[in-house]
């Protein structure tokens, strides 16, 4: 393929995806969907700051067990005292017509409880990943939202990030030939004294936290669910950080099409990348799923080139507005509760494989 043709194809795909990202589930200008944020930790701070970039979403309420946070963030974002809730009086949110969506940003073990309570209060739900700490909890959450006639979306922000969207499209179209192998490595050096290092709250270690990015990437890059899992865990139990959770876990996934994915999840090494290898080359993102700064390289026809795409809106704002548009238009979100359930089914199989030292077949 001539260089000019290659650049034209990729540029066209990138521009098209940028437009698609900015218009997905778009609704007519007018009413904005009101979000209540439940849990005011560091990630919630980031999310609250992103409403300024949104076209269809606004921050209208806060929920926390810390009065100081309710006051501080309430004043910062202009949230009246009447729209600030404690966990104890959370259920009063049903009486607040300004709240359309409850965004659950709590420790993993609390996701199911607050999703169910929000649905019973008549609110749509955005829930952070991992969706819950078990397949059974995921199913309970889906059932609760369905029974209430409310939408449920999981916070897979990378699906609204233009470089990831381009990688998905290039892989789907076979730009480097049919996909044969995927590698996906995610990890960071976890600092002590965090809820994520306590299984009671997290449900697991690095796999439940950073490893889910490796897993979910293999699923959106293939468009398939794995049929077989093999995993190995490596954890230094003398390290006080890992008294109840795992550090490193490596896992191999086999997909129906024959694609194999080799993945790493780690709490003691720093990496964030994936590579899609086809019969004619590869597509690589590094960093791949960070909050910002994604970079893409493509190897094809014996040449490796960096690629860039337009980024019309940040992935966090894109995620918020996508769900808002779905609510206003009555359409289904790109990443519904079933997506979180699919990941949790594989996560349970990975843990089982590592524990039992054998391959696990998924139905």
Active site residues: 129, 213
Q: Measured on CA atoms in the order 165, 126, 203, 49, is the torsion positive or negative?
A: positive
Task: Kindly write down the DSSP assignment for every residue of 76-109, as one continuous string.
Answer: HHT--GGGEE-STTGGGGGG-TT--EEEE-S-GG
Helix, strand, coil percentages (3-state) for the chain, rounded to 5, are 45, 25, 35
Sort 8 into a burial class: Cβ within 10 Å, 0-12 / 13-18 / 19+.
Answer: exposed
110 secondary structure, DSSP code: G
Token representation of residue 304: 């490796």
Instruction: Name the nearest CA neighbour of 162 among 8, 39, 318.
Output: 318
**How far is 217 from 9, CA to CA, in rounded Å?**
23
Task: Kindly write down the DSSP assignment for every residue of 58-76, as one continuous string.
Answer: EEEEEE-S-HHHHHHHHHH
41 secondary structure, DSSP code: S
**How far is 355 from 233, CA to CA, in rounded Å?**
8
């Amino acid at each position: 393929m001539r260089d000019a043709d290659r650049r034209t194809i990729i540029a066209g795909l990138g521009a098209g995806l940028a437009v698609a990202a900015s218009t997905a589930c778009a609704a007519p200008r007018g009413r904005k969907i009101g979000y209540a944020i439940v849990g005011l930790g560091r990630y919630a701070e980031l999310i609250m700051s992103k409403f300024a970039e949104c076209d269809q979403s606004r921050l209208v309420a806060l929920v926390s067990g810390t009065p100081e946070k309710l006051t501080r963030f309430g004043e910062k974002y202009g949230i009246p005292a009447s729209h600030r809730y404690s966990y104890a009086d959370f259920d009063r949110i049903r009486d607040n017509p300004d709240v359309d969506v409850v965004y659950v940003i709590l420790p993993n073990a609390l996701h199911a409880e607050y999703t169910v309570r929000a649905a019973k209060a008549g609110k749509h739900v955005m829930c952070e990943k991992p969706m819950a700490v078990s397949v059974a909890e995921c199913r309970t959450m889906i059932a609760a939202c369905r029974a209430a006639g409310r939408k449920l979306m999981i916070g897979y922000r990378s699906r609204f990030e233009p470089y990831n969207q381009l990688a998905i499209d290039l892989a789907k179209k076979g730009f480097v030939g049919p996909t044969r192998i995927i590698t996906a490595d995610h990890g960071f050096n976890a600092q002590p004294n965090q809820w994520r290092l306590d299984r009671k709250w997290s449900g697991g270690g690095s796999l439940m936290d950073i490893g889910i990015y490796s897993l979910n990437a293999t699923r959106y890059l293939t468009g398939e669910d794995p049929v077989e899992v093999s995993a190995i865990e490596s954890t230094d139990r003398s390290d006080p950080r890992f008294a109840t959770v795992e550090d490193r876990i490596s896992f191999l996934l086999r997909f129906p099409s024959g694609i194999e994915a080799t993945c790493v999840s780690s709490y003691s090494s720093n990496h964030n990348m994936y590579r899609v290898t086809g019969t004619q080359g590869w597509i690589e993102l590094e960093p791949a799923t960070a909050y910002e700064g994604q970079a893409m390289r493509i190897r094809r026809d014996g040449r490796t080139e960096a690629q860039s795409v337009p980024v019309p809106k940040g992935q966090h704002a894109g995620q918020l507005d996508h769900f808002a548009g779905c609510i206003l238009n009555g359409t289904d979100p790109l990443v519904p509760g079933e997506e979180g359930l699919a990941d949790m089914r594989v996560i349970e199989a990975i843990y089982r494989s590592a524990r039992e030292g054998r391959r696990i077949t998924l139905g």
